[in-house]
Amino acid sequence: MGFITKDLLINFLFVLLPLFLVQMFYLLKYTQETDKLKNWMLIFFPVMSIILCMAFPANIAEGLIVDFRRIPFVLGVLYGGWPAALLLLSTILGIRFMIGGSGFFIALVMYPLLTVILLLIANKYKELSIFQRIGINVLLLPLSESLLLYIADLYFSLAIPLNVQLTFFVLNVTGMLIVIILWETVSKNFELLERVAKTKKLEVVSHLAASMSHEVRNPLTVTKGFMQLLHAQDLTHDTRKKYLDLGLQELDRAVDIINDYLMFAKPAAEKKDHVNVYEELEQSIKVLEPYCKPLNVHLKLKGEEEPSLTVLGEHSKLEQCFINLIKNGAEAMSDGGIVLVTISYSKDAVLVTIEDNGEGMTTEQISKLGEPYYTTKNKGTGLGMMVSYSIIQNMQGKIKVRSKKGSGTCFIIKLPLSSANI
């Protein structure tokens, strides 16, 4: 009797093992392209459990063995439907045939009948509440056991001791109860994981929309500034042409930004080129001067151009980064002032500093720069700074911030020179 109980407890461990493995394998769905993994697991793991249970059964009579194969069989058919039913039924009958004995004929009669009953229930099983599912699974085991005992006694005159029947019944029902609760818990965790994944996707879309709005607004605002300047009556023909050209350039930049964000879901390789940092700073300042004029902010570029020293990146993105940082510095000075942009060169890098004498930031505020939706401005989104940080990082550069509340802010950007210059 003790040996039978021990064997059945080992069987119960074989039933529980796939439940722990299934959680580990299911996580692969979120790291690899395995959309059909869950359906595959509903078939593979019950088969694995059945094979292990039948490989280490409890022998109660000559040619008659008992184990917990019915637990994974019942759950596999109810959750997996007829494809799982065919495979599981074939597995049980095939292994039982190889074991031999009169128990094979009992299985040959009982399991097809049980399969038909389970398939009739399976159609509406998933629509039931968790308590109804637990109730059905717990009732199915006594039903199948009664069918087993009836067939064994009626056709094969195999009398199973009462104490073995009771032990098997209690362990079977308890095992089914534990397994179905665990599986329902695991299923709920899977659903929660999928909801979290969908929520993150929606959050990305939200960030993308807000970021796109912010980045497109910059060139449109600059273009608006040029259009307002064109109202002046004393402008020369060349000046008007210059403003129109700059306005059109900014509109082209807005189109480029929109195209970049439209390609966000299907990113292509960046078209990196040798970029003259001084030229991009010069262009950024020209673009922002009309915007800064009403704010009483003057932009000053200090340093010399070195045409032979370039960095590897995209012209438009680096300009976008500089525009974001210079514009932030200008907006930080409520009473006007100077935004000083300095460029210098070291042996292997270009150093750019953008310094203002605005409100400044605390250490805590500096640590949060570059995070989505974090901003020190009343009407800002923080996404412009996030994009700027991303552009510098993609160029293998570094960005540092020195600031003190009430004493202005200094951004220090270090970009590695392209290999041709080193």
Task: Summarize pLDDT for 341-376 with one digit per residue, the tens.
Answer: 999 998 889 999 999 998 888 888 888 787 665 666
State pTM to two decimals. Answer: 0.49
Contact 281, 323 (CB under 8 A): no
* Rounded Cα distance, 319 and 287, in Å: 10
Q: How confident is the model at residue 413 (pLDDT cuts 50, 70, 90)?
A: very high
Region of poorest pLDDT, from 60-64, 197-201, 276-280: 60-64
What is the pLDDT of the chain when averaged over all its residues? 80
Given a cut of 60, is residue 90 above it in pLDDT? Answer: yes
In this structure, the chain runs to a length of 422
CATH tag, 272-421: 3.30.565.10
Residue 6 pLDDT grade (very low, low, confident, very high; cuts 50, 70, 90):
confident
Mean pLDDT for 380-402 is 82
The string of pLDDT tens digits covering residues 270-325 is 678 889 999 999 999 998 998 898 889 999 999 988 887 889 998 888 998 999 89
Domain with CATH 3.30.565.10 in the chain: 272-421
Closest CA to 64 of 1, 129, 154, 156: 156
In the predicted model, what is the mean pLDDT of residues 154-163? Answer: 63
